[in-house]
A and B are shown apart, each in its own frame.
Chain A
Amino acid sequence: MLSATNLGILRGERVLFEGVSLSVAPGEAVILRGANGAGKTTLLRILAGLTRPEAGNVTREATHHWIGHREGLKPHETPRTHLKLWGQAWGAEADIDAVLREMGLSRPADVAGRYLSAGQKRRTALARLMLDNRAIWLLDEPFTALDTEGRDQLLAMVARHRQSGGAVIAAVHGDAGFAASREMGL
């Protein structure tokens, strides 16, 4: 579904990593491990096509969702307007109210981003995963700022996504909470 071969990248004068290959098939989940600064985020950005690697290439055979550590939520946007905007941008016909309810965002649905807590912002970003059915999920530290309930919700989403033939590549610290097909150390 997504495969990368022999990726290498320079950051400044330093080789961040080289010779990294990975692939993910339907239903699989790959977890990226590594110390802070090992290049997990950079690798995910390369897989998403945001950063150009110095060596190697990436083939994506399906569309992907991107959840970075910056949420992509504007200070003036409410969870509802945010999801509506991206639903329209992607041409997705999801029921916004249902998505908000499922993510536990019904109460702050009309609160501007600048007043939301870190966890609520994170939930809003994760709600984008449900707007549009895309086979590949690229998640950078998706559990950051989530409470137990939010964590369980995300785990359920990941499980459902894999059951329906989706693939997940995630950078995670500590216990991922879901069974990974492979773990990759950087």
Chain B
Amino acid sequence: MSPKPILSAFRQALSEAWAGGAGALLPLGFFAGAAVLVPLGIGTEPGMLRAVGPGILWVSLALSSLVTLERIFQSDVEDGTLDLWLQAGAPVSAIAAAKTFAHWLTAGLPLALMSPVLALMFQAEAGLSLLTGALIYGLGGLAFFFWGGVGAALSATVRRGGLLIALIALPLYVPTAIFGSMAMRGAAFGDTAPLLLAASTLFALAAAPFAMAAALRLAAD
């Protein structure tokens, strides 16, 4: 088996996201928008904002990861690229993982990088904890994108399948959301919460590609 098709799939997904123009910025806008509107809704008392901030950011992250997932496999079905990838001679799970990873790099990583700014708006203390926070959001976001990819693959042949993706992916988001918010609350749970979050992300990385591959084969059938 040659890794060349996998690299090509990764490159194609990156250039497709790049060519999508402002579309790639949509999750970022959604993430920031949700986080900016919350203080307007619940009031500006600093203690309260500090308490709810990390949780609000988790919810916003989970929801904004769903915004563009619809397109990652659906466009491949529509333009016939999926048929070519299925015959490219590489494991379909690896192709799907490469595409999802490329999608996370363009749509998910920017969310994690922006999280310190939004955390500051929620009265978080400026310091190193903002960076560990970004790392934790990045790790959790990766799991969100891979589980979301399963939903995207399953609904690849469904027009306007966004709602379906949400219904399939949201239950799979639960472990990551739980461990992630535990990790953000830090002290109360010691060092184990970030490790559990990392474990749940690793599980997503290991299991989701096979589910995506099976779903994509079905979509082409």
Contacts and interface: CB of A to CB of B under 8 A. Distances in A.
A4 interface: no
Interface string B68-106: 000000010011110110111100000000000000000
Contacts of B79: 70-75
A72 B81 contact: yes
A173 interface: no
Given A72-B79, A73-B79, A76-B19, A66 B84 contact: yes
Contact of A89 (B9, B19, B20, B80): B9
Contact of B88 (A50, A51, A69, A89): A89
Nearest to B9: A89
A50 B81 contact: no
A9 to B, nearest CB: 10
Contact of A74 (B75, B220, B221): B75
A137 to B, nearest CB: 13
A91 B6 CA distance: 12
A70 to B, nearest CB: 3
A72 B80 contact: yes
Given A50-B86, A66-B83, A91 B75 contact: no
A71 B2 contact: no
Interface in B98-123: none
Contacts of B86: 49-50
A9 B29 CA distance: 47
B20 to A, nearest CB: 8
A68 B4 contact: no
A50 B221 contact: yes
Contacts of A45: 220
B78 A91 contact: no
Interface string B3-32: 011011101100110011000000000000
Nearest to B86: A50
Q: Which has the most chain A C-beta neighbours within 10 Å: B5, B9, B84? A: B84
Interface in A22-48: 45, 48
Given A68-B83, A74-B12, A76-B15, A52 B4 contact: no
Contacts of A81: 15
A88 interface: yes
A163 to B, nearest CB: 25
Nearest to A66: B87
A91 B19 contact: no
A86 interface: yes
Contact of B78 (A48, A52, A70): A70
A48 B80 CA distance: 14
A72 B84 contact: yes
Interface of B: 2, 4-5, 7-9, 11-12, 15-16, 19-20, 75, 78-81, 83-84, 86-89, 220-221
Interface of A: 45, 48-52, 63-64, 66, 68-77, 81, 85-86, 88-91, 112
